[in-house]
Structure 1
Amino acid sequence: MTILVAVPESPEGRYALGAAAAEAKSCATDLVVINLGLRRLDESILPRDVELTVIERSGPQRGPADSVLEYVAQNPAISRLVIGMKRRTPVGKAVFGSVSQRLLLESPVPVLAVKPESAA
């Protein structure tokens, strides 16, 4: 059993990382962090109290949702996906695609979607 967290370069991504670390700790399992940003993940934000692996995305050739879904499909030990959400208007949802929405709908494993209090 492994927890996977998708971490974009955003406050929601940092919040999801914290929630995923707490989830991994409560389940006594390891954590895989997939960095959806195009820059290397700032290691100072990584939790120190859980066993973790960081996967760096290699460039923009694959979309972030594709990268996450492919990783889940190739790793049967993944038991849960944690993602950060932000508030969007109905027009924003219709006009702009949503990585979070796609992951919620297409993930073959349960998804824990978290939202920082300030994003409420």
Structure 2
Amino acid sequence: MDDVLATVVVGYLAKPEGEAALEAAIEETRRRGGRLLVLWATRETDGDVEALRARLAATGLPFDLHPPTGAEPADDLLAAAEANAASLLVFGLRRRSPVGKLILGSNAQRLLLDATCPVLTVTA
């Protein structure tokens, strides 16, 4: 393996789909022997971020935790994946109604179509 660790980038929001994405990203990071880069959503409070930091530290994996830049979530994730030469991008998808399934959310669609690395989507 190279001296540079494989990077798994994950978008996190304290909701069921965000939790599922984080768990999948942790598992993939372990599998790849890499580091985890977590971008959390703006809804998180300082206490939530510290709890998330403690949770990530308990995994024993190398990780970085970054706030969003204020851009669209897809922009933040795509930029982070590209800047860190990510080996995988992970994000959660909400369950949708039958009609909603016909139209994938715009952020999810952008991530799936524009990512320069493999993408793993998870549901809660």
TM-score range normalised by the length of the shorter chain = 0.7 to 0.9
Report the AA paired with residue 39 of structure 1.
E
Say which SS state the counterpart of residue 36 (structure 2) adopts: strand
Over the matched positions of the two proteins, sequence identity in percent amounts to 35
Gaps of 5+ in 1: none
* Over 4 Å off, 4+ runs: 93-96
Report the AA paired with residue 29 of structure 2.
A
1:44 aligns to 2:55 (yes or no): no
Match of 2:84 in 1: 75
Alpha-carbon spacing, 1:38–1:26, altered in 2? closer, same or farther (3 Å): same
Task: Kindly provide the CA deviation profile for residues 70-102 of structure 1, in whole angstroms up to 9, marking residues without a partner as x.
Answer: 2222222x1101111121135435678432232
Say which SS state the counterpart of residue 94 (structure 2) adopts: coil
Contact 1:8 1:36 in 2 (8 A): yes
TM-score for the superposition, normalised by structure 2: 0.77
Provide the rounded CA distance (Å) in 2 between the counterparts of 1:95 and 1:104: 13
Q: Count residues with an aligned counterpart.
A: 113
TM-score for the superposition, normalised by structure 1: 0.79
Match of 1:85 in 2: 93
Q: Judging by fraction of residues, say which structure has more helix.
A: 2
C-alpha RMSD of matched pairs (Å): 2.2
Provide the rounded CA distance (Å) in 2 between the counterparts of 1:5 and 1:64: 11
Once the two structures are TM-superposed, the CA of residue 7 in structure 1 deviates from its matched residue by: 0.9
Alpha-carbon spacing, 1:96–1:31, altered in 2? closer, same or farther (3 Å): closer
Gaps of 5+ in 2: 1-5
Contact 1:9 1:37 in 2 (8 A): no
